[in-house]
A and B are shown apart, each in its own frame.
Chain A
Amino acid sequence: MLAYALRRVLSTLPVMAIVALFVFSLLYIAPGDPAVIIAGDQASPADVERIRANLGLDQPFLVQFGSWVWRLLHFDLGTSIFTSLPVSALIAQRIEPTLSLMMVTLCLTIIVAVPLGVVAAWKAGTWIDRVIMAFAVFGFSVPVFVVGYILAYVFALKFDWLPVQGYTPLAQGFWPWLQNLILPSVALGCVYIALIARITRAAMLEVLQQDYIRTARAKGLGQGGILFIHALKNAAVPIVTVVGIGIALLIGGAVVTESVFAIPGLGRLTIDAILRRDYPVIQGIVLLFSFVYVLVNLLIDITYTLVDPRIRY
């Protein structure tokens, strides 16, 4: 297993290199020029050119790409064009809020969605099943920002229970950290709760029709045992897959959520960088996200072997 994991991690390197080349090329041909934005409205074309030269943006594509790759090989993600701060420092500043948001959302999603899916499958065709599935459709259909505004209105403005914006680092205490994350996590989690609840239900329904479940029932095993010990474990592979994909999708969802709740995370950093054409920052974040994506896929594969011993690599 260790060899397999190592092989997988190593195999990510060419993938990331291709992603990096793709992203770099895309930005190179995309309209928009950071030097123009920096120079401001008063600047002459000569001023803009001087800024471009200072930033190295006047160099040919291959020179710029080569220099970026060279820096990357030295574990240097470069320097932000706009803030003059190292990209790694900017990412480090922003990674905790985004990771926290993703983690709390994921915990919330699994805690709520899996039991809902199991219950819906157990009570398939009843009003309980219909209510849960109606909730799933609602969660899927309503945009994150709408849920966010409703939550902020009810729990921050009306009842004054939770803050409406911002982020408190975990180092400043668990509750201050958590209270800033509850509303955004619920807003962001709605979609994933809906998705995972539906997948869990479908997977459970399939398993519940298997012979060994019938046998378990015939042996007089209780409903809880059947559902959570026998059925859920065997339905886990698709659920784990969707949870994994959900983690990757959370990165996208975090962009909107971080804006609505003014959380200083990677999502906002990405949007700001794109709007300003801050190439080194965009490249750094894309590389990071690519790595996370590959890593999540690896973790999913490893988890398969844990939940289903028949799977071997």
Chain B
Amino acid sequence: MDRRTVLKGLAGAGGLALTGFAAPAIAQGAAARTLRFVPQANLANFDPIWGTQYVVRNAAAMVWDTLYGIDDQFVPQRQMVESEEVSSDGLTWTFKLRPGLKFHDGTPVLAKDVVASLTRWSARDPMGLMLKAIQNELTAVDDKTFKWVLKQPYPKMLFALGKGNAPCAFIMPERIAQTDPFKQMTEYVGSGPFKFAKGEWVPGAKAVFEKFTDYVPREEKPVWLAGGKKVLVDRVEWVIMPDPATAAAALQNGEVDWWENPITDLVPVLKSNKNIGVDIGDPLGNVGSFRMNHLHAPFNNVKARQAILMALSQEDYMRALVGDDNALWKPLPGFFTPDTPLYTEAGGDILKGKRDFAGAKKLLEEAGYKGEPITCVVAQDQPITKAFGDVTADLLKKLGMNVDFVATDWGTVGARRAQKTPPAQGGWHMFHTWHAGADCINPAAYTALRANGDKAWFGWPTSEPVETEITNWFAAKSLDEEKAVAARINKAAIDDVVFAPTGFFLGYTAWRKTVSGVTKGPIPLFWGVSKTA
């Protein structure tokens, strides 16, 4: 019997049976001001600079505040900062902190804390590293003012300080921020709207966040990571649920209040329950990715990579992942997140229309492919990569390729994809992954799009046109200029097949209707969320 079928059937039956049933005693007894949340994954560590998993970033955003925060227009808004000033040559940035900022241990947030935090962050973050490379000095002028002096202008400064991509520029007390960025810190004191209850932390099972009563929210309306982060509950308990059917059942009978990412199979059950609200969680969704290794034959030849694009059906990938729910996916003839300012389809024709297998086979032949085994490493423990891997195996077979399908776990894929050796010696030809749409709105955090050879992401693509245009984007001073550059990046990245996009997909979030204030955003936003009994 298939586990997923059983799970779906029983959860479905549970959903139907529950209609009309009141919440159980166990739920009624719970404090109304405690919000119980099922996160996307286990919170195994809690240093947002040392570890960059999304779940760590999401928890960290509750505990640590940032100097700026991006809003739903991707514009960085002031958050901990009261004002900023940039010199006319664009080299000296002077920032002033807003009054009333306090850390959870009661100490005030000072400029020296900011300097230490930014120093640690800039050792690990791609934008931070760029800033570090052109930094003259980063110093505290007085308790409330700090100054960043650069050797050359950096127009994306505020975006770097406010972006939501991990690692975010979170501000920590100096003593904590002085931890080696490659070592994990063990103290979790921030100045954000929630305090982390370390004593109640059971890694792998539960993490508790308490309202920080001394937090002074901004006056502006909250939008994503910007604006007034007003906390309306006393506690948020993260309950880790390894089994989706259990999470669905727990949500249905009121043992939890909010499930970040219900699996597609269970969404119809949740939608049929009148006590549960379901909607798209993160409107920026995800970009599916099929990466080929540019170092080894046949994919060291652009024709072989283009052959894949010519035959690849994004719909096949997306259907394998989300089934018949058309609200959950879009074709993506490009690399940038749909419905965001830089989205473009320039040069994306090869991914559109009827798939051309004959043309693809011809290109493969021209690339010199003669039936050698193609090592396709697939993480079977990740539903997304499992679905993608199955579709790719079928695609390659249709193209007459000899597939060596290596079914393994994500931990192994993570280590193996870093191997540059030939596939026969422990390396690889291809693997699948996906990127949060929030990381793909522009080149700032889009590591996967980089094509700077040895320094590039796994697959190590080399494309001078892509790299030149990415540099141009960082220097762009207006949105129109950025859009023009993005179109050129997109075309160049498709021409050289930096990687193959397998489509754009979204996910749902689900909550009990006793909870209000759940909004769409790139991360689960807990400010403005309240709960009745």
A38 within 8 A of B: yes
Contact with A along B322-340 (1 / 0, CB 8 A): 0000000000000000000
* A165-B241, A275-B381 as given contacts; A150 in contact with B10, CB under 8 Å: yes
When the two chains form their complex, are residues A260 and B52 in contact, meaning their CB atoms are under 8 A apart? no
* A40-B52, A40-B53, A157-B17 as given contacts; A272 in contact with B42, CB under 8 Å: yes
A138 within 8 A of B: no
B400 within 8 A of A: no
A284 to chain B, nearest CB (A): 14
Alpha-carbon distance between A44 and B123 when the two chains are bound, in angstroms: 12
Residues of A within 8 A of B416 (CB): 31
Residues of A within 8 A of B50 (CB): 38
A122 within 8 A of B: no
When the two chains form their complex, are residues B17 and A32 in contact, meaning their CB atoms are under 8 A apart? no
Please tell me which stretch of B114-122, B250-258, B386-394, B479-487 contacts chain A, meaning at least 4 of its Cβ atoms lie within 8 angstroms of it.
Answer: B250-258
Q: Which residue of B lies closest to A52 (CB)?
A: B182
Residues of B within 8 A of A145 (CB): 3, 6
When the two chains form their complex, are residues A165 and B21 in contact, meaning their CB atoms are under 8 A apart? no
Residue of A31, A42, A43 contacting most chain B CB atoms (<10 Å)? A42
Alpha-carbon distance between A149 and B245 when the two chains are bound, in angstroms: 8
A48 within 8 A of B: yes
Contact with A along B169-204 (1 / 0, CB 8 A): 000000000001011101000000000000000111
When the two chains form their complex, are residues A93 and B45 in contact, meaning their CB atoms are under 8 A apart? no
Within 8 A of B (CB), among A187-245: none
When the two chains form their complex, are residues B21 and A160 in contact, meaning their CB atoms are under 8 A apart? yes
Contact with B along A241-271 (1 / 0, CB 8 A): 0000000000000000001111010001101
Alpha-carbon distance between A215 and B17 when the two chains are bound, in angstroms: 57
B126 within 8 A of A: yes
B424 within 8 A of A: no
When the two chains form their complex, are residues A262 and B246 in contact, meaning their CB atoms are under 8 A apart? yes
Please tell me which stretch of B346-354, B403-411, B466-474 contacts chain A, meaning at least 4 of its Cβ atoms lie within 8 angstroms of it.
Answer: B403-411
When the two chains form their complex, are residues A153 and B203 in contact, meaning their CB atoms are under 8 A apart? no
Contact with B along A26-49 (1 / 0, CB 8 A): 000001110011111111110110
A82 within 8 A of B: yes
When the two chains form their complex, are residues B18 and A157 in contact, meaning their CB atoms are under 8 A apart? yes
Within 8 A of A (CB), among B1-20: 1, 3, 6-7, 10-11, 13-14, 17-18
Within 8 A of B (CB), among A97-131: none
Alpha-carbon distance between A145 and B381 when the two chains are bound, in angstroms: 17
A234 to chain B, nearest CB (A): 40
When the two chains form their complex, are residues B182 and A157 in contact, meaning their CB atoms are under 8 A apart? no
From the candidates B204, B247, B455, name the one contacting A44 in the complex (CB within 8 A).
Answer: B455
Residues of A within 8 A of B219 (CB): none
A152 within 8 A of B: yes
B249 within 8 A of A: yes
From the candidates B1, B203, B240, B414, name the one contacting A262 in the complex (CB within 8 A).
Answer: B240
Alpha-carbon distance between A261 and B1 when the two chains are bound, in angstroms: 20
B44 within 8 A of A: yes
A21 within 8 A of B: no
B531 to chain A, nearest CB (A): 18
Alpha-carbon distance between A275 and B240 when the two chains are bound, in angstroms: 16
Alpha-carbon distance between A150 and B245 when the two chains are bound, in angstroms: 11
When the two chains form their complex, are residues B409 and A275 in contact, meaning their CB atoms are under 8 A apart? yes
Residue of B10, B44, B183, B408 contacting most chain A CB atoms (<10 Å)? B44
A164 within 8 A of B: yes
Give me 19 other A-B pairs in contact (C-beta within 8 A), A36-B415, A153-B17 excluded.
Answer: A32-B409, A32-B415, A40-B52, A42-B52, A42-B167, A82-B203, A84-B45, A90-B203, A149-B10, A150-B10, A153-B10, A157-B17, A158-B18, A163-B24, A260-B246, A262-B247, A264-B204, A272-B42, A275-B409
**21 A-B interface contacts by CB (under 8 A):** A32-B409, A32-B412, A41-B52, A41-B447, A42-B445, A50-B182, A51-B182, A82-B51, A84-B186, A152-B14, A153-B13, A157-B14, A157-B18, A160-B25, A160-B253, A165-B250, A261-B246, A264-B202, A269-B204, A271-B242, A277-B411
